[in-house]
Amino acid sequence: MANHQKILTFSFDDGVTQDIRLIELFDRYGLKGTFNLNSELLGKPGELRYDVGRVDHNKVQPGDVKTIYAGHEVAVHTLTHPLLPAFEDDREIVRQVEQDRLNLSELVGYEVLGMAYPCGGTNNDERVAALIRENTGVQYARTITSTFSFDPPRGDLLRFDPTCHFLRAEPDAVTLAERFINSEADGVQLFYVWGHSYELDLWQKWEEFEEFCRFVANRDDVLYLTNLEAFRAAGLL
């Protein structure tokens, strides 16, 4: 890694059309992300409702995936976004993960190796991770449990925890970014930020998030990588 001991990587879920605007931001500031898609839901319209209102949840078209996510990484989010630990049938867990991986690999033209677990709450367990490890080509899988730390994952990469959510963390992502940028790295530091691009519509945070991108970008001592690139650069894969 030469003198670059700091790594910043983003991970966004669901493959919604708001990803297009988000990727425009990332490309403008030289940032890299991994986008976790449900291949059997691609092209489907939808919306989500929250206390604060509704938000479009329209999935990108399958034929547009390769173009939209060019320069970034596409990864598994299962075929249809189920809660994997709730399945009694091990075969369905494997199918949801591996068939999604194969479908996405065909769409993008390279082998998809990463994953983010779908659903909130406790969305993973050791049984599910073991099935993925033994029966799929997935090499890493992200949970939604924040560490608020820049230490690279230790232990099982098929159940690794991110640093924080990009909007909901406490301390928030901006505070953590300031710590990350201003700290002196003693070994590899990994700032791993995740979320959903539709949340930027829901909470009307596009301008605020662009400020975040502008702040973290163009630092000589930071590598801006996809998840897979980040893990390889950190010597984890």
The pLDDT tens digits of the residues spanning 99-129 come to 999 999 999 999 999 999 999 989 999 999 9
| CB neighbourhood size of 4 (10 A) | 16
CB 61 within 8 A of CB 43: yes
- pLDDT score, position 170: 84
The pLDDT tens digits of the residues spanning 125-149 come to 999 999 999 999 999 999 999 999 9
The pLDDT tens digits of the residues spanning 7-37 come to 999 999 999 999 999 999 999 999 999 999 9
Mean pLDDT of the chain: 96
The pLDDT tens digits of the residues spanning 174-193 come to 999 999 999 987 899 999 99
Could you please report the per-residue DSSP string of the chain?
-TT--EEEEEEEES-BTHHHHHHHHHHHHT--EEEEE-GGGTT---EEEETTEEEE-PBPPGGGHHHHTTTSEEEE--SS---GGG-S-HHHHHHHHHHHHHHHHHHHTS---EEE--SSSS---HHHHHHHHHHS---EEE-S------SPP-S-GGGBPPSEETTT-SS-HHHHHHHHHHSPPSS-EEEEEEE-THHHHHTT-HHHHHHHHHHHSS-TTEEE--HHHHHHHTT--
pLDDT at 2 over 50: no
The two beta strands, 47-50 and 53-56, are: antiparallel
Residue that wins the pLDDT comparison between 5 and 81: 81
- pLDDT score, position 1: 46
- pLDDT score, position 184: 87
Written as six digits, the tokens of 184 are 């002196």
Tell me the C-alpha distance between 9 and 23, whole Å.
13
pLDDT at 40 over 60: yes
CATH superfamily placement of domain 6-233: Glycoside hydrolase/deacetylase (3.20.20.370)
43 confidence band (pLDDT: 50, 70, 90): very high
CB 74 within 8 A of CB 35: yes
Residues in a beta bridge with 192: 9
216 — phi, psi (to 5°)?
A: -85, -15
Q: What is the pTM of this model?
A: 0.96
Tell me the C-alpha distance between 175 and 177, whole Å.
5
Q: Where are the domains of the chain?
A: 6-233
